[in-house]
Chain A
Amino acid sequence: MKELVILSGKGGTGKTSLTAAFAGLKSSLMLCDADVDAADLHLIMAPDVQETHDFVGGNEAVIAPDRCTGCGTCLELCRFDAIDENQGEYTVDALNCEGCGVCVDMCPESAIDFPRKTCGQWFVSHTRFGPMVHARLGIAEENSGRLVALVREQAKKRARDAHIDLILTDGPPGIGCPVIASIGQASAILIVAEPTVSGIHDMKRVGELAAHFKIPAMVCINKFDLNLDQTRAIETIAREKNILVAGKIPFDPAFTKAMIQIQTLLEYDDTCPAAKAVRNIWETVMTHPAMKLERLM
């Protein structure tokens, strides 16, 4: 089984639109949306949800006012500034609580409860391109890395059961905890970069991250004709860092128009220049040695 993770460092470069466009190019694949914070792939895939599961991501401290004697031990020990005191009454600020449980364990009156907390939901769905595993993290919740790991695990398990040999994963932006959770043991990552000063900066950071975790990386340049100097700069950096440039996609309003029609780019217009570029990139990515290598997952 192989897994390709689409990343970008920066948001809004076209990761999701590209993932969707790729989905139609292979007859059997598993889709996985690992951007649990701001998932968008479902907007094009229109998934028919078959299973809904709660994601229990941790615990949250709650002070029981009837048992609290106001000793202030919790306030003293909490390093996350999550205990508020107001005229001798102690409460937990849920937005700051890290779920470490130190206050729970150290309270001399055992006055702090520690209920488990549902932090989001994950889904298994049918789509017109195959099965899809996706999720929604609750607003202001933590543990997005753990939810990403869970979504990918489920995608692998279900792909294995259904004898599907390719997982296509739409990754989260950034280089922090959700991104790290999204690339472990992937066959390769494809970075979608745009030819802008920030696009280049972010591509370098995510490229370094991939190198740090020894995951083979490729890059494609979206909206390459917006700034040809910056496009050349990306190609130079990629060469220096031994990252294959899998192709270049011209700026094309068809991406947005397709999105509005709830279609992939190739469903919306199979013949536009962007569609042709996407096909070529797909061919290049799929023939990369890293995507030929069978990985035990």
Chain B
Amino acid sequence: MIISIASGKGGTGKTTVAANLAASLNQPVTVLDCDVEEPNLHLFLHPEIQSREKVIAPVPEIDLDRCTFCKKCMDICRFNAIAVTANTVVTFPELCHSCGGCTVICPENAVTEKERILGTVETGTVPLPDMNFGQGLLDIGQVMVPPVIRQVKSHRAPDQGITLIDAPPGTSCPVIAAMKDTDFVVLVTEPTPFGLNDLKLAVETVRLMNIPHGLIINRAGIGDDAVYAYAKEKNLPVLMEIPYDKAIAQAYSKGDLIIAQQEDYKEKFQTLYKKICLLADSEKCAP
């Protein structure tokens, strides 16, 4: 069972939900932080990192002794990552999407692929019973986010286990890479005009991907009722409400879990998981 926590908008409480849900389950769980531009889950779960691996993308290197400057590599590259002049070839690794087109098309076998580092994936365990942890970190200045996310996701729990994915904000390639092939998406929103606007985009995205989904309304009471009306109109199940509470905001600011401060929330997050199980493909749910 793989559950993604997403939101469209940033700052709605994705990480809060992911961390507290993970720590409330009485079963083995793997949590993966796929917000690789700004991973924050580790600040709440304090994992012990046991291994680090680089995320590597192949980029072309041209053997100028073999190159006949035929320009086929430049012509096949849709990302302007190769420029061929009369007697030299310049590559722009930061524009390369690693499609391998230049390697395949070169008639002289003059293109080899060298490795470019996009970021790091770290894995380890959390000092709580049965919790594995993984996160990706995009290197500063790099733009290729989806490969880093895909590599984090390769560390998901074995077949019967539960995997929770903390997704990045937005509705474009990074969040698609994070939500793809997951069994359920929890959309976290806040009841404000910004929250509603971004929720609508997120709902369109999840529906396009055809993944079962439900809603958590965080900071309930801070804004207006429009989010509730929208949920009703679109048949979006509201799985949980977390009221606006200064104590919760302060706990978050220090990196504390809600369940560590307010005991009753552990049961609320367990109920949340049960509701998810009812809405997701039941065969995927661990007993």
Residues of chain A whose beta carbon lies under 8 Å from any beta carbon of chain B:
9-13, 16, 37-38, 40, 43, 58-59, 77, 79-80, 95, 98-102, 105-106, 137, 139-142, 144-145, 172-177, 179-180, 194-199, 201-202, 205, 208-209, 212-213, 226-227, 230, 253, 256, 259-260, 262
Shortest CB distance A140–B (Å): 5
B241 at the interface (CB under 8 A from A): no
Whether A102 touches B37, Cβ cut-off 8 Å, given contacts A139-B201, A145-B143, A226-B250, is: no
Query: A38 to B141, Cβ gap below 8 A?
Result: no
Whether A11 touches B205, Cβ cut-off 8 Å, given contacts A176-B145, A177-B143, is: no
Shortest CB distance B117–A (Å): 15
Q: Which residues of the partner chain B approach A100 to less than 8 Å between Cβ atoms?
A: 78-79, 97, 99, 101
The 3 closest A-B pairs by CB, nearest first: A11-B10, A12-B11, A100-B99
Q: Give the segment of B121-129, B168-176, B265-273, B277-285 that binds chain A.
A: B168-176
Query: B205 to A140, Cβ gap below 8 A?
Result: yes
A176 to B194, CA, bound (A): 22
Shortest CB distance B266–A (Å): 21
Q: Which residues of the partner chain A approach B99 to less than 8 Å between Cβ atoms?
A: 79-80, 98, 100, 102
Q: Which residues of the partner chain A approach B201 to less than 8 Å between Cβ atoms?
A: 38, 139
Shortest CB distance A185–B (Å): 16
Interchain residue pairs with CB less than 8 A apart (26): A11-B9, A12-B12, A38-B8, A40-B198, A80-B99, A95-B209, A102-B104, A137-B171, A140-B205, A140-B208, A142-B172, A175-B138, A175-B140, A176-B138, A176-B143, A197-B40, A197-B253, A197-B255, A198-B43, A201-B43, A205-B140, A226-B253, A227-B253, A253-B222, A256-B223, A260-B223
Query: B37 to A260, Cβ gap below 8 A?
Result: no
Query: B78 to A59, Cβ gap below 8 A?
Result: yes
Query: A205 to B38, Cβ gap below 8 A?
Result: yes
Q: Which residues of the partner chain B approach A141 to less than 8 Å between Cβ atoms?
A: 172
Q: Which residues of the partner chain A approach B173 to less than 8 Å between Cβ atoms?
A: 142, 144
Query: B254 to A197, Cβ gap below 8 A?
Result: yes
A144 to B172, CA, bound (A): 7
Closest chain A residue to B35, Cβ basis = A174
Q: Which residues of the partner chain B approach A102 to less than 8 Å between Cβ atoms?
A: 76, 99-101, 104
A142 to B176, CA, bound (A): 10
B64 at the interface (CB under 8 A from A): no
Closest chain B residue to A173, Cβ basis = B10
* Residues of chain B in range 164-221 having any CB-CB distance to chain A below 8 Å: 168-174, 176, 180, 192-194, 197-198, 201, 204-205, 208-209
Query: B172 to A196, Cβ gap below 8 A?
Result: no
Shortest CB distance A267–B (Å): 15
Query: B222 to A174, Cβ gap below 8 A?
Result: no
Query: A202 to B141, Cβ gap below 8 A?
Result: no
B83 at the interface (CB under 8 A from A): no
A6 to B201, CA, bound (A): 22
B249 at the interface (CB under 8 A from A): yes
Query: B37 to A175, Cβ gap below 8 A?
Result: yes
Q: Which residues of the partner chain B approach A106 to less than 8 Å between Cβ atoms?
A: 101, 104-105
A144 to B143, CA, bound (A): 11
Query: B76 to A101, Cβ gap below 8 A?
Result: yes
A201 to B263, CA, bound (A): 28
> Which of B79, B100, B198, B253 has the most C-beta atoms of chain A within 10 angstroms of its own C-beta?
B253
A195 to B43, CA, bound (A): 14
Q: Which residues of the partner chain A approach B204 to less than 8 Å between Cβ atoms?
A: 139
> Which of B169, B201, B223, B255 has the most C-beta atoms of chain A within 10 angstroms of its own C-beta?
B169
Q: Which residues of the partner chain B approach A140 to less than 8 Å between Cβ atoms?
A: 171-172, 176, 205, 208-209
Whether A212 touches B253, Cβ cut-off 8 Å, given contacts A10-B38, A197-B43, A198-B43, is: no
Query: A209 to B141, Cβ gap below 8 A?
Result: yes
Q: Which residues of the partner chain B approach A11 to less than 8 Å between Cβ atoms?
A: 9-12, 169
B224 at the interface (CB under 8 A from A): yes
A16 to B10, CA, bound (A): 12
Q: Which residues of the partner chain A approach B140 to less than 8 Å between Cβ atoms?
A: 175, 205, 208-209, 212
A169 to B102, CA, bound (A): 38
Q: Which residues of the partner chain B approach A13 to less than 8 Å between Cβ atoms?
A: 11
